Chain A
């Protein structure tokens, strides 16, 4: 059983999953299966690359070794919601292997017959993230994924071998290759759950909009806009139920704790690094303002 403290981040996570679901459904319907898949995969890769590059820069800035252990354990830009059930099999600087048995993202998409669109996210995000972090030297293996009807767990095996990188990169990556290295006293903290999820929501949305426009032009933008309207309506419905179920008033404070984006965009720092394509304005007009208006009513 979950506590109130656990339920709120779950609701936020589900709202992110809902955004991905509604946007990708509209994109596939409007742009077609082929172009839709192409642009969704590319959008997820862009978001993954951005995350990998950002974390590498943050770790470098803090004088932390940019190896796989630290990619997955230090200064992370996103932390799991309480429903994730996983086990770590190898936690090493050049090898990270883990399995996931319960994934709220997969659960959300699978229940809505959206496993295929979900699998685009699974196949591309970590792959792009690790390649960016390792300058294309790392290897990501995902042989099992919960968005595949065949599988009942995810299995990630990620490698970044000293023998596959330059001696300079090895020195930056591994303490044993840098005899004078002294780790910083204070390691970078993980992003807060709320900030991490807001970043992820904005990045995925932004790149879906960007690639939709690139591949399908105005039709692509319209598809994303229609998806945002669907999401806004679904998010409001979900929050009404969540408020009733937790005996809480549906107000701005409830939205702040149960919806991944601030209703005032200036409160989410991630918008500043995603300034193009009129993305913030579109989100405000089609999602944030209607939700705020409904709360006021």
Chain B
């Protein structure tokens, strides 16, 4: 059995994963391919945001913007104990790995949302990794656990120095920056709640933004329906964890295991346009609280 702390990380990850499929399903059910268009566009924007954020953090640390840094310096999430990977190569130009067990793919499959998860895989990874590398990276993900018949994910993410303009080479590769000495970077312990809450807010925000742009208010209404379904599911998952660990304070378990907090978080500060936070507060929070109350009874 996992420790409670490990279980919290797994629940945070699963609920973040389900945010995507609940919102995605609501958009697809309401709008078909136009909903998919908004979902994919929102996913790309989210990926680019994360890529740009990682790049900025790495620039501040003084490390080179390359594949080795991207996949080894300062991750913002604690490890999920279910995740199994075989690393084949990690150097400044390449990161090659097989994901043998992906909890995200497993959750999507369990909820009948493999095809929605596939959209995430197709859009998020290239948007994030390529944009991190100033849009000169190339993400190859030719096998994915969200694709029927595939038995692992085959990541081959490359940034070729010789495909960069001369102005970027010193920023990305030490061999183009004479005298560069890599800084000593002390890894910080990642906080699961903070990490997943940040990611969840961003993911919701960008999908809402794309839906509003492409589908108008009916798009946002569909997302609201997804949020309401997500709230009910999240409450029942919190209850399951509380039961498994014999904990009586369901509100605390919900806080520990659900990435989005019912109390206003400062993390929304940069992601409150489009009425995003207000919509979340109006739709998700009461639905989540009501569902938790129902679980207590």
The reply to whether B40 and A141 form a contact with Cβ atoms under 8 Å apart is: no
Contacting pair B163 A139 (CB below 8 A)? no
Q: Mark B17-36, 1 if CB is under 8 A from A, else 0.
A: 00000000000000001101
Residues 21-43 of A at the B interface (beta carbon under 8 Å): 34, 37-38, 41
Contact of B33 among A38, A144, A157, A162 (CB under 8 A): A162
Give A155 to B140 CA distance when docked, in angstroms. 10
Q: Name the CB-closest residue of A to B39.
A: A163
Task: List the 7 closest A-B pairs by CB distance, nearest first.
Answer: A143-B154, A141-B142, A157-B142, A163-B36, A143-B142, A38-B162, A143-B156
The reply to whether B141 and A163 form a contact with Cβ atoms under 8 Å apart is no
Binding site for A on B (CB under 8 A): 33-34, 36-37, 39-40, 88-89, 96, 122, 126, 138-143, 149, 154-156, 158, 160-163
Closest CB-CB distance, A215 to chain B, in whole Å? 10
Decide: B33 and A141 in contact? CB cutoff 8 A. Answer: no
State whether A164 touches B142 (Cβ < 8 A).
no
Chain A residues with CB under 8 A of B39:
163
Q: In chain A, what residue has the closest Cβ to B149?
A: A89
User: Given contacts A38-B163, A163-B40, is CB(A142)–CB(B33) below 8 Å?
Assistant: no
Contacts between the two chains (Cβ within 8 Å), count:
61
Q: Which residue on A lies nearest to B176, using beta carbons?
A: A34
Q: List 17 A-B contacts (CB under 8 A).
A: A37-B162, A41-B162, A97-B142, A123-B138, A123-B158, A139-B122, A140-B140, A141-B139, A141-B140, A142-B140, A142-B142, A143-B156, A144-B142, A155-B142, A162-B36, A163-B34, A164-B40
CB nearest to A150 among chain B residues: B88
Query: CB distance A155 to B162 under 8 Å?
Result: no
Q: A163-B34, A163-B39 are in contact. List 19 more A-B contacts (CB 8 A).
A: A38-B162, A41-B163, A123-B138, A123-B160, A141-B139, A141-B140, A141-B156, A142-B140, A143-B141, A143-B142, A144-B154, A150-B89, A157-B141, A157-B143, A159-B122, A161-B36, A162-B36, A163-B33, A164-B40
Q: Which residue of B lies closest to A95 (CB)?
A: B147
Residue numbers in B under 8 Å from A161 (CB-CB): 36, 40, 122
Check if A127 is an interface residue, CB within 8 A of chain B: yes
Instruction: Say whether A156 faces chain B, with CB atoms less than 8 Å apart.
Output: yes
The A4-56 residues at the B interface (CB cut-off 8 A) are 34, 37-38, 41
Please name the residue on chain A nearest to B154 by beta carbon. A143
From B40, B140, B162, A143 is in contact (CB under 8 Å) with: B140
Q: Determine the chain A residues whose CB is within 8 A of the CB of B139 once the complex forms.
A: 141
B34: A residues at CB distance < 8 A = 163
Instruction: Report the separation of the CA atoms of residues A141 and B161 in the bound assembly, to the nearest whole angstrom.
Output: 19
Task: Name the B residues within 8 Å of A144 (CB-CB).
Answer: 142, 154, 156
Q: How far is the CB of B179 from chain A (nearest CB, A)?
A: 18
Q: How far is the CB of A273 from chain B (nearest CB, A)?
A: 26
A123 to B162, CA, bound (A): 13
Q: A268 to nearest B CB, angstroms? A: 31
* A172–B87 CA distance with the chains assembled, in angstroms: 41
CA distance A17 to B90 in the complex (A): 30
CB-CB nearest in chain A for B34: A163
A143 touches B37 (CB 8 A): no
> Which of chain B's residues have a CB closer than 8 A to the CB of A139?
122, 126
Q: Could you say which of A41, A142, A159, A164 contacts B156, with CB atoms under 8 Å apart?
A: A142
Provide the bound-state CA to CA distance between A144 and B39, in Å: 29
- The interface residues of chain A lying within 8 Å CB-to-CB of B154 are 143-144, 155
- State A38–B176 Cα separation when bound (angstroms): 14
Q: Give the one of A34, A140, A143, A144 with max B CB within 10 A.
A: A143
Tell me the A152-206 residues at the B interface (CB within 8 Å): 155-157, 159, 161-164
Within the complex, what minimum Cβ distance (angstroms) separates B248 from chain A?
A: 46
Residues of B within 8 A of A140 (CB): 140
Residues of B within 8 A of A150 (CB): 88-89, 96
How far apart are the CA atoms of A141 and B154 in the complex, in Å? 10
